[in-house]
Amino acid sequence: MAAGAMRRALPLVRQLAGRTPVVAASPLAAPSRGAHPAPSVLTAAAGTSASATTLAPSAASSVPGPAKKMTGAEIREAFLSFYESKGHTRLPSSSLVPEDPTVLLTIAGMLQFKPVFLGQAPRKVATATTTQKCVRTNDIGNVGVTARHHTFFEMLGNFSFGDYFKEQAIKWAWELSTGVFGLPAERVWVSVYEEDAEAEAIWRDVVGVAPERIKRMGAADNFWSSGPTGPCGPCSELYYDFHPERGTQDASLEDDSRFIEFYNLVFMQLNSSTGGGGGVFMQLNRKPDGSLEPLAAKNIDTGMGLERMAQILQGVSNNYETDLIFPIVAKAAAIAGVDYASAQPAVKTALKVIGDHTRAVTYMLSDGVTPSNTGRGYVLRRLLRRVVMKGRLLGIREVFTPAVAEVAVALSAACDPAVQRNAQRIYDELAREESLFATTLERGQKQLDEYLDRAAAGGKAIAGPDAFMLYDTFGFPLELTQELAEARGVDVDVSGFEAEMEAQRQRSKDSRETLDLTAQAGLAALAAAVGPTAFTGYSATRGAGRVRGLMRGGAPVEVVEAGDRCEVLLDSTPFYAESGGQVGDMGVLTAHGSGEAAAELSVSDCQKAAGGSVFVHTCEVKAGQLRVGDQVTALVDEDLRRRVRAHHTATHLLQSALKAVLGPDTCQQGSLCNFQRLRFDFNLARGMTAAEVAEVERLVNGWVAAAAPLETRVMDLAAAKAAGATAMFGEKYDDTVRVVDVPGISMELCGGTHVANTAEIGAFKILSESGIASGIRRVEAVAGPAAVEYLNQVDGLVRGLSGQLKLKPEEVPARVSAMQAELREAAKQLADLKAQLAVAQSQALVSQAVTAPQGGKVLVAELAGGVEAKALQEAAVKLQEALGDPAAVVLASRVDDKVNFVAAFSAGAVKAGVQAGKLVGAVAKVCGGGGGGKPALAQAGGKDASKTSEALALASKMLNEGL
């Protein structure tokens, strides 16, 4: 069905075939499978790197180019090894799904270290080096057009957390660039922030860069930030000169035809004067109001674009023709039957977009992002649909994204080994989403055809709102709508489209819920100052602690009193702070003075701060006063702890059961364990069958009945993974982890609280299984006391129902089925009676038909009595037959606040130029609705019945003019 939908969608893009071709044969025509791509395309498509000699080198220059030719993998390893030799710790890339709530996706190498730069988390190493996978979409329109813009890219970085600073960072950057990578010193230019005389002096006097190759630039170019808030600072950038023969006079680093920026050094510094530029400008944390405040230490954050360095060292004309991307481009070219080397620019651009976006969606899918209409899922869907649209414009008929992604997966190992492990899930998701989009394209084509017909007939443009609807509902890019419209000689109201787009952006902005890292800056600062909290809750629900800090209204205070809502920070607590899907504990804090209770506080939540090391108790003071320094007794609500403990352990058993029933590739995509129920999200391309749900439930309850003891131990992360422990989706783990093991059943990395023996769970019951996103399912269940409560509730409902029906409980299902059958039969009889009544009523309207100017019979009327659509259709058909040919009938009937419309036209009326589908759709719009159908018979609905008379008047006018 999916392949058929794909084929049926092809006429949409074939309409472009009549336009000026962008290759020798139209790319929208069926590609010749006998065509042979150029050798470079075939070589890269086979999985080997495109050689630098095959691709276009830079223009010749009297100044020699790089002394070395290196593959992308060699560049990556050389960078990381260089900084390891300088004492840096090599750390893995973080996920594209960031912990930072101020950004949707990981956009920079430093993002995983942002809490360290802010002083919210302690540093684990003094210096580090990484290769970080990143996705940015702010320049999506430039992808494939320029030589260097991407949505997905790898950022090589070296970082100093209060260790070395400017001079060392600059000297190492120069050593790496000119020594390890062999860039000629004469071809390397440097930019510095316009006020940073210190950095300029280091480059000039210490490194020895000629003054004429050092450029001072403004904040727009040389003041870097990771987002709207957070770490930022002046930077110094290194540029490679492709054309040194042009000289230094009036040279501009913004000249993309000559220069490419390949290395960026960001200096994050405490309040510092530059000696020449003056002023305090290196204050590194940008607050929500735009002001800057100093960080606690001098830090270094750098980024070298792997793709850009590959372009330089491989001697190719753009990033897409490096061995990092070109094999993907070549695979797409081979599928399309296109010779990349001789292709026209528009075709090359389409292939580059496919190569870039395929990398992005492959890594995003691997990291657990799934297509959706919101958030990062929308980013993924948008990128994937751009890939599909570019493929259609190249004439690719079949589902092709999995085949192209195979090349991206093959190239991923050194960047992220997890991609290859997740390969099958990636391919399945791509095929499913591409097939769904093909169906959407087919529906959208019908709508576009209507707009084109209407615009062509009336000599008008496609309206802006209509073009936006095609984009928003069916995924048609504006440029595609413009191309298809141009082929029909129709314009598109671009300004109207942009107005609709801006209105949507504003609606999104108005409804967006944002969480700013600096919104709780006071709490973060206090948490960092008081130090880590000792958690004692694994072995006890009662404990003693001393108040280390108090917050009220977002500000630190020394005392809180009755009626205050506040946050309490203790040096030790048995309260579990929310993490790993488990909600925070609730309970009571009491403080004693002179032998009597001095204060009592109810705890409604417990959260983590300062990178997870400090526990923050959300409280309301019920009585007395509490001061910083007071000793308190912390008492967790044991009943609630028992409930959440049962749910959390049941979640571990549930994951094992799902793997056993659905396959080992089933993995967690999210979870929630609270006091009322558990929720578990997992990957599955289809709904579970009733038998599968029952089997999962049976397995979990079997393990509960087996009374299996739980074992917990602390291990090194690597050792835990080697032992087979499962990590929770989206969780970030320390080097030392806690492993929860149910021997022979489940082993997971988990910091949550659990039962000591599975028998404590008591019972497990699945409440529902449903889809929440493409390829993602959700199970909701109850365990322990919550399961008993649920079963009691269901039992009460069944007993009540059986009492009302005077049946035994086991007889209720059969009786309900019989009653449903009786109800359906009664509803059918009622519908038949209503239809007969409508036909009978309508016969009296024959005399009201009028003759149109051209001779056809026209009847436009409203039937009273709330006639449903089916009955209304039968009445309209009977009337049309009674009026003869040519004749056109339009009937309406109000049902509550809505209205139904039906149009029935004879063959002669259709031949005369009126069509029921188009007419009834236009009429329904008057009432805020829509619809359509065939030229001879169609129906529609409206949301506002008060405008029925106005709608029918429009119908009369259109019919009189048409007939």
Annotation: binding site: 648, 652, 750, 754
Who contacts 312 (Cβ-Cβ below 8 Å, separation ≥6)?
Answer: 66, 183, 240, 260, 262
Phi, psi of 24 (to 5 degrees): -55, -45
Q: Measuring CA to CA, which residue among 301, 311, 306 is closest to residue 259?
A: 311
* Dihedral sign (CA 197, 200, 204, 206): positive
Who contacts 582 (Cβ-Cβ below 8 Å, separation ≥6)?
Answer: 576, 644, 648, 673, 752, 753
Using omega within 30 degrees of 0 as the cis cutoff, is the peptide bond preceding 402 cis? no
Q: How far apart are CA 936 and CA 201, in angstroms?
A: 82
Neighbours of 398 (CB within 10 A): 11
Residue type, 831: A
Who contacts 574 (Cβ-Cβ below 8 Å, separation ≥6)?
Answer: 535, 536, 537, 540, 541, 542, 543, 585, 634, 635, 636
316: exposed, middle or buried (C-beta count within 10 Å: 0-12, 13-18, 19+)? buried
Ramachandran assignment for 47, one of left (phi > 0), alpha (psi -120 to 50 degrees), beta (any other): left
Q: How far apart are CA 36 and CA 49, in angstroms?
A: 19
Q: How far apart are CA 925 and CA 928, in angstroms?
A: 5
Q: Measuring CA to CA, which residue among 754, 646, 71, 658 is closest to residue 414?
A: 71
Q: Measuring CA to CA, which residue among 175, 173, 222, 174 is closest to residue 196?
A: 222
Q: For residue 454, give both structure tokens.
A: 């209407």
Q: Are 540 and 572 in contact, with CB atoms under 8 Å apart? A: no
In degrees, to the nearest 5, what angle opens at C-alpha 283 toward C-alphas 209 and 531? 125
Q: Are 838 and 872 in contact, with CB atoms under 8 Å apart? A: yes
Helix (H) or strand (E) holding 953, with range, is helix 948-962
Strand partners for 217: 193
DSSP SS3 for 601: strand
Counted residue by residue, the chain has a size of 963
Q: First vs last Cα of the chain: how many Å apart? A: 41
Cα–Cα separations (whole angstroms), residue 485 to 30, 480, 805: 22, 8, 64
Question: Residues marked as binding for Zn(2+)?
Answer: 648, 652, 750, 754
Q: Measuring CA to CA, which residue among 422, 431, 425 is closest to residue 404?
A: 431
DSSP SS3 for 946: helix
Q: For residue 131, give both structure tokens.
A: 């290769």
Q: Measuring CA to CA, which residue among 693, 661, 694, 669 is closest to residue 769?
A: 693
